[in-house]
Structure formats: C-alpha cells, structure tokens
Amino acid sequence: MALIQVNYLSKVLFRTVPVNVILPTDKISFETLDYQSAPEGGYPTLYLLHGLLGNYTDWVSGTRVQRWAEDAGLAVVMPSGDNSFYIPGLAANSDYGAFVGEELPRVMRSMFPLSPRREDTFIAGLSMGGFGTLRNGMKYAETFSRLAAFSSGIHFFDPNFESLAGEESVFGDLAEAAKTDKSHYVVFEQLKARVAAGEVEEPEFWMSCGTEDSLMPVNLKFRDMLIEAGFDVTWDEEPRGHDWDFWDSQIKKVIDWLPLGEADATLGSGNVAKDF
C-alpha cells in the first residue's frame, strides 16, 4: 500500500494544499509475485474528511484505514480542510465546498489511476467532516454516489444550538447562513428537487453516532428527515462517545458497505507468510 503526501496548488483556495493519498498500487500478487495492475477504469475512491482541529494526517494516525483500504482495493484521499466546515468561507479564496466537491476529485484523477465514475466515488467524514460530507455529498451529488457521516456536527442550525467552536467565524450570522446553501437543510431541499426533476441520481447515506455523544439527537433528527424523504439510509450506533475508537470501528464498517466487490489476496508486510 502506497501512502503518498501530495502538495498541489489549489485554484479554488489559491494556495498550496496538502493531501494524503492511500493508493493500492504496490500490491504484489501471490500467483505471479509481480505488482498488480490498477483495475480497468481506475480505483474506486473514498474522499475522507477530518474533524475540527485536525488535518490530512488524522485518519491515518487515528484509525486502521490504511490496512482496510489495502485489503479492499480502495483508494482514499484525505485533504486538509482546516477549520472550514467544508463550506464557502467569509474570506476570499475559501470555498472549501467547491474544493472538496469539484476540484479535488478532478485534480486527484489527473494524478492517479482513479475511477472517474460517480458510482465508484464516495465521501465520508467525522464530526466537522461529517457535516462537510452531508453538505457537499448532497450539493455535489453528481460527484459522489455514497455518503458516510460519523458523529456529524450538524447542530448549529437547530434552535437549541450552543456554540462549540466559534462556528460564526466560519458561517457568519447563523440566521442568515441558514437561508443559504451553507446549511445542510437548504442543500437537502435542493437535492430533493433535483432528484425529483431527474437532474441527479439519489446518493445512498450511511449515518452513525455514539450513544454517549451529545450530537446524537441532531443526527437522529436528520436521519429521520432523509428517511421520510425516501432516501436510502443505513443507520448505525455504538455505545461510545465522540472519539477515535468509534470512528475506527465505523470506517471499517463503511468500507465493507461500499460496493467494491472482492479484492484479490496479495503479498504484504501483514501477511507475508500467507499460503507459504
């Protein structure tokens, strides 16, 4: 499994941005003892978003996603979203939504053998990244076919909102932002209209939250809205809080949930003695 750090000049953000990429290109076949070729059409790809205070290294250091992605033949792209909530920010050159939903897939596909097909392209994230997954997965539903949101920070447009991290510095006035597509509720209504008009296919959703997490009520509320609107939603919960133990468990479940098919067993440092 190749773990690659990329630094590229983002046109949307107008600066050089760091990205970690997990790419299963160095897998060695047990039968031929040679490198496997990339699948015809390119690797299925998961765009994986970190949470508040994190960066592009979080998922690799906090979970076992690298090993599980290798086993599944899945490429994983992990950008730095700063503390942006993955929306268009207040400053110039800060549209992190367009960065994640449009530019990043286009640039990564130009660099690596990734599938350009929507049905092979997925997005997931935790906490702030869960919000970014829902907002951008729905807004850019022509890019992503499956969305997986863990412990999503979708609390700040609800009446009982209490600021956890100075969200107003990103969204501006929350009452005004709630009327725009910075709000996942607005994007949800837009998605329903686009699906009804035949403009885009429905994405499939995975939502989850720890039962000890204070964000559970708002996640259940949004889950129920999706289900009531007729979307395909898989819900999962575990007796955990807002922590890496939960997200480590969830990313394994989601990789199993993705439509990846069976990957061939290959030679690697974790199974060098297998079949010998």
**pLDDT per residue as tens digits for the range 2-51:** 899 999 999 999 999 999 999 998 767 666 667 777 888 999 999 999 99
Report if residue 267 sits inside a domain.
no
Report if residue 170 sits inside a domain.
yes
> pLDDT for 66-84, tens place per residue?
999 999 999 999 999 999 9
- Of the pLDDT bands very low, low, confident and very high (cuts 50, 70, 90), residue 158 is confident
Closest listed residue to residue 75, CA positions, set 43, 35, 109, 101? 43
Closest listed residue to residue 114, CA positions, set 14, 6, 249? 6
- Residue-number span of the structural domain to which 40 is assigned: 2-260
- Please check the confidence at residue 96 and state whether its pLDDT lies above 60: yes
> What is the share, in percent, of the chain residues with pLDDT greater than 70?
90
What's the whole-model pTM score? 0.93
Tokens of 127: 């906490």
> pLDDT for 200-246, tens place per residue?
999 999 999 999 999 999 999 999 999 999 999 999 999 999 999 99
| 126, β-bridge pairs | 150
Report if residue 123 sits inside a domain.
yes
Please state, in angstroms and rounded to a whole number, the distance separating the CA atoms of residues 79 and 95: 14
> pLDDT for 48-60, tens place per residue?
999 999 999 999 9
- Please check the confidence at residue 166 and state whether its pLDDT lies above 50: yes
Report if residue 255 sits inside a domain.
yes
Largest CA-CA distance found in the chain, in angstroms, rounded:
64
Instruction: Compare 163 and 173 and report the one with higher pLDDT.
Output: 173
CATH code, domain carrying 88: 3.40.50.1820
Report if residue 274 sits inside a domain.
no
Closest listed residue to residue 192, CA positions, set 184, 149, 235, 49? 184
| 4, β-bridge pairs | 21
Average pLDDT, the chain: 92
Please spell the DSSP secondary structure of 38-69, one letter per residue. PPTT-B-EEEEE--TT--TTHHHHHSSHHHHH
Report if residue 168 sits inside a domain.
yes
In total, how many domains does the chain have? 1
Report if residue 231 sits inside a domain.
yes
pLDDT for the residue 237: 98
Kindly report the number of other CB atoms within 10 A of residue 190's CB atom: 15
Report if residue 272 sits inside a domain.
no
User: Computed from CA positions of residues 40, 97, 12, 15, in that sequence, does the dihedral angle turn out positive or negative?
Assistant: negative
pLDDT for the residue 276: 46
pLDDT for the residue 164: 61
